[in-house]
Amino acid sequence: MPTITIDGVAYEVEQGRNLLESCLSLGLDLPYFCWHPAMGSIGACRQCAVVQYQNAEDTRGRIVMGCMTPASDGAIFSLSTDKAQRFREAIVESLMLNHPHDCPVCAEGGECHLQDMTVMVGHRARHYRGRKNTHRNQYLGPLINHEMNRCITCYRCTRYYRDYAGGTDLAAMAAHDHIYFGRHEDGVLQSEFAGNLVEVCPTGVFTDKSLVHDYTRKWDLQSAPSVCTGCAVGCNTIPGERYGRLKRVHNRFNAEVNGYFLCDRGRFGAGFVNSDKALEFPGLREADGRYRALDHHEALHRMTALCAAGKVAAVGSPRASVEANYLLRLLAGPDNFAPGFSDAEQDLAGLALRLQQQSAALVPDIRTIESADAVLVLGEDVTNTAPRIALALRQSVRNRAYELAAGLRLETWQDAAIRNLAQQQRSPLFIAAVADTPLDDVATRRMSLAPAQIAALGLAVAAGISGTAGDTPDAAPDDPAAIAAALAGASRPLVIAGTGCGSAAVMEAAASVANALCSAGKQAMLCLCVAEANSLGQAMLAGPDAPDLGELERRAREGQIDTLVVLENDLYRRGNRDRVDALLANCANVIVLDGLDNATTSAATLALPAANFAESEGTLVSLEGRAQRYFPVFQPREERRPSWVWLLACLKELERPEVHPLHHFDDITRACAADVPALAGITAAAPDLHYLNLGVKIPRQPARYSGRTAMRANISVHEPKQREDEETALAFTMEGLNRTQPGALLPWVWSPGWNSNQSLHKFQTRAGGPLKGGTAGVRLLQPGAALARGSTDTSASAAPESGNPAGLWQLVPRPRIFGSDELSALSPGLAELVTPAFIELCPADADSLGLASGDGVEVGTGLATLAVRINATMTPGCAGYSIGFEGTANLAPLARVELRRAPNWQRAPQLIGSDRGTGAGGSHV
Amino acid sequence: MNLDLPLTRNVRPDRSPTGLAAYEANGGYRGMKSAIGKLSPADCLQIITDSKLRGRGGAGFPTGMKWSFVPMEDASPGHKYLICNADEMEPGTFKDRLLLECDPHQLIEGMICAAYTIQADLAYIFIRAEYHRAAALLRDAIAACYEQGYLGKHILGSDYSLDMQVHSSAGRYICGEETALISSLEGKRANPRAKPPFPQVSGLWGRPTIVNNVETLCNIHHIIERGADWFQGLGLTEDAGTKLYGVSGRVKKPGCWELPIGTPIREIIEHHAGGMEDGYRLRGFLPGGGSTDFLTPEHLDLAMDYGTIGKAGSRMGTGTMIILDDKTCPVGFVRNLMAFFARESCGFCTPCRDGLPWSAQVLDDIERGRGRPEDMDTLARQVEFIGAIGNTHCALAPGAMEPLQSAMKYFREDFERHISGSACPFCDGGAH
Q: How many residues does chain A have?
A: 925
Task: Look at residues A552, A584, A653, A567 and name the one whose alpha carbon lies nearest to residue A335.
Answer: A552
- Could you tell me the pLDDT band of residue A470, with boundaries at 50, 70 and 90? low
Q: How many residues does chain B have?
A: 432
Q: Where are the beta strands (DSSP E) in A738-877?
A: 778-779, 809-813, 838-841, 856-859, 864-870
Long-range CB contacts (within 8 A, 24+) of A657-661? A658/A330, A659/A327, A659/A330
End-to-end CA distance of chain A: 51
Decide: helix, strand or coil at residue A214: coil
What number is the average pLDDT over the span A539-562? 96
What number is the average pLDDT over the span A23-35? 97
- Whether residue B373 has pLDDT greater than 60: yes
As a whole number of angstroms, the distance between CA A829 and CA B241 comes to: 69
As a whole number of angstroms, the distance between CA A692 and CA A730 comes to: 9
pLDDT at A790: 42
Burial of A905 (C-beta count, 10 Å sphere; 0-12/13-18/19+):
middle
- Whether residue B432 has pLDDT greater than 50: no
- Each residue's pLDDT tens digit, A488-539: 999 999 999 999 999 999 999 999 999 999 999 999 999 999 999 999 999 9
pLDDT at A787: 47
- Could you tell me the pLDDT band of residue A919, with boundaries at 50, 70 and 90? very low
As a whole number of angstroms, the distance between CA B41 and CA A123 comes to: 56
pLDDT at A638: 86
- Could you tell me the pLDDT band of residue A712, with boundaries at 50, 70 and 90? confident
- Could you tell me the pLDDT band of residue A141, with boundaries at 50, 70 and 90? very high
Nearest residue on chain A to B363, judged by CA atoms? Answer: A130
Q: Name the residue among A49, A127, A153 with its Cβ closest to that of B347.
A: A153
- Each residue's pLDDT tens digit, B254-270: 999 999 999 999 999 99
pLDDT at A909: 75
Higher pLDDT, B368 or A471: B368
End-to-end CA distance of chain B: 51
Closest-CA distance, A614 to chain B, in angstroms, reads 42
Closest-CA distance, B160 to chain A, in angstroms, reads 26
Contacts of A49 in chain B (CB under 8 A): 391
CB proximity B206 to A under 8 Å:
yes
Decide: helix, strand or coil at residue A157: helix
What number is the average pLDDT over the span A544-570? 96
CB proximity A485 to B under 8 Å:
no
- Each residue's pLDDT tens digit, A90-123: 999 999 999 999 999 999 999 999 999 999 999 9
- Whether residue A473 has pLDDT greater than 90: no
- Whether residue B76 has pLDDT greater than 80: no
Q: How do A171-173 and A180-182 pair as beta strands?
A: antiparallel
- B194/A49 touch (CB, cutoff 8 Å), yes or no: no
What number is the average pLDDT over the span B169-189? 96
How open is the CA angle A84-A85-A89, to the nearest 5 degrees? 115
- Each residue's pLDDT tens digit, A666-683: 999 999 999 999 999 999
Mean pLDDT of chain B: 95
Task: Look at residues A196, A190, A212 and name the one whose alpha carbon lies nearest to residue A251.
Answer: A196
Is residue A19 a contact partner of residue A26, using CB atoms and an 8 Å limit? Answer: no
pLDDT at B430: 42
- Could you tell me the pLDDT band of residue A786, with boundaries at 50, 70 and 90? very low
pLDDT at A698: 96
What number is the average pLDDT over the span A868-885? 96
Question: A-B interface: how many C-beta pairs under 8 angstroms?
Answer: 112
- Beta pairing partners, A563: A312, A589
- B393/A44 touch (CB, cutoff 8 Å), yes or no: yes
pLDDT at A708: 85
CB under 8 Å to A237, separation ≥6 — which residues? A226, A227, A228, A249, A250, A251, A252, A262, A266, A267, A270
pLDDT at A471: 55
- Each residue's pLDDT tens digit, A117-130: 999 999 999 999 99
- Could you tell me the pLDDT band of residue A918, with boundaries at 50, 70 and 90? very low
Biggest distance spanned by C-alpha atoms of chain A: 94
Percent of the residues in chain B that have a pLDDT greater than 70, as a whole number: 97
Is residue A628 a contact partner of residue A607, using CB atoms and an 8 Å limit? Answer: no
pLDDT at A716: 87
Q: Name the residue among B350, B353, B388 with its Cβ closest to that of A176.
A: B353
Contacts of A97 in chain B (CB under 8 A): 354, 357-358
As a whole number of angstroms, the distance between CA A443 and CA A396 comes to: 11
- Each residue's pLDDT tens digit, B317-340: 999 999 999 999 999 999 999 999
- Whether residue A805 has pLDDT greater than 50: yes
Alpha helices (H) along A186-334: 197-200, 209-213, 264-268, 296-309, 322-332
Task: Look at residues A829, A197, A884 and name the one whose alpha carbon lies nearest to residue A499.
Answer: A884
Residue B4 CB neighbours (<10 A): 12
CB under 8 Å to B188, separation ≥6 — which residues? none
- Could you tell me the pLDDT band of residue A469, with boundaries at 50, 70 and 90? low
pLDDT at A200: 98
Chain B segment 158-197 residues within 8 A of A by beta carbon are 172, 186, 189, 193-194, 196-197
- Beta pairing partners, A626: A779
Contacts of A176 in chain B (CB under 8 A): 342-347, 353, 356-357
Contacts of B208 in chain A (CB under 8 A): none
pLDDT at A115: 97
CB proximity B385 to A under 8 Å:
yes
What number is the average pLDDT over the span A343-359? 95
How open is the CA angle A116-A121-A124, to the nearest 5 degrees? 90
- Could you tell me the pLDDT band of residue A908, with boundaries at 50, 70 and 90? confident
CB proximity A85 to B under 8 Å:
no
- Whether residue A410 has pLDDT greater than 60: yes
Task: Look at residues A630, A716, A578 and name the one whose alpha carbon lies nearest to residue A323.
Answer: A630
As a whole number of angstroms, the distance between CA A566 and CA A309 comes to: 17
User: Checking phi first, is residue A237 left (phi over 0); if not, alpha (psi -120 to 50) or beta?
Assistant: beta
Mean pLDDT of chain A: 93
- Whether residue A916 has pLDDT greater than 70: no
Contacts of A68 in chain B (CB under 8 A): 194
Task: Look at residues A221, A224, A195, A210 and name the one whose alpha carbon lies nearest to residue A614.
Answer: A224
- Whether residue A736 has pLDDT greater than 80: yes
CB proximity A414 to B under 8 Å:
yes
Decide: helix, strand or coil at residue A171: strand
Instruction: Quickly list DSSP for B47-71.
Output: HHHHHT-B-TTTT--BHHHHHHTS-
- Whether residue A917 has pLDDT greater than 50: no
Residue A658 CB neighbours (<10 A): 12
Closest-CA distance, A184 to chain B, in angstroms, reads 15
- B350/A153 touch (CB, cutoff 8 Å), yes or no: yes
Testing the interface with B: which of A148, A177, A402 to mutate, by most B Cβ within 10 A?
A: A177
- Each residue's pLDDT tens digit, B108-126: 999 999 999 999 999 999 9
Percent of the residues in chain B that have a pLDDT greater than 90, as a whole number: 94
Decide: helix, strand or coil at residue B276: strand
- Whether residue B51 has pLDDT greater than 50: yes
- A68/B194 touch (CB, cutoff 8 Å), yes or no: yes
- Each residue's pLDDT tens digit, A415-436: 999 999 999 999 999 999 999 9
ipTM of the complex: 0.95
CA-based radius of gyration for chain B: 22
What number is the average pLDDT over the span B209-216? 98
- Each residue's pLDDT tens digit, A231-260: 999 999 999 999 999 999 999 999 999 999
